[in-house]
Amino acid sequence: MTEPVSFRQRLDAVLRTLDVKQVQDFLIAEKQWSVDTPENPEFAMWLMVAGSPTLKDLHGRAREWLVAHGHQEEADAILGRGQKQRPSSGKKASGRSYTVSKQKGSKQFPPDSSKKQKRW
């Protein structure tokens, strides 16, 4: 017996059409959206396309749409800053990292190697 197709697979199939009305109708039927939400279903559709790992062949188009409609920040957050969907080389960045907390004034940056650190 075959398993039913998962919600994600069905959603990706509908997203692949790039038809906002079909995506909207599907999500309303699945009780994920209501008739009046989201306010901008086309924007929501392109965000979902960009966020789907199985729709990588459409990520370039998603980036183009998002950037052309003033959503560069969202495109960078989902698809990676400045990447044009190049295949990953498997290399990590520099190994250095920093975190920025959402609380004001609590940034943590890599230690400055030019300053001597106190050892306790």
Domain spans of the chain, in order of start: 7-82
% of the chain residues with pLDDT over 70: 64
pLDDT for residue 75: 97
Q: Residue 99: in which H helix or E strand, if any?
A: strand 99-100
Q: Is residue 3 very low, low, confident or very high in pLDDT (cuts 50, 70, 90)? A: low
**Which of 54, 58, 66 has the alpha carbon at shortest distance from 85?**
58
pLDDT for residue 95: 41
CB contact at 8 A, 72 and 82: no
pLDDT for residue 41: 97
Q: Is residue 78 very low, low, confident or very high in pLDDT (cuts 50, 70, 90)? A: very high
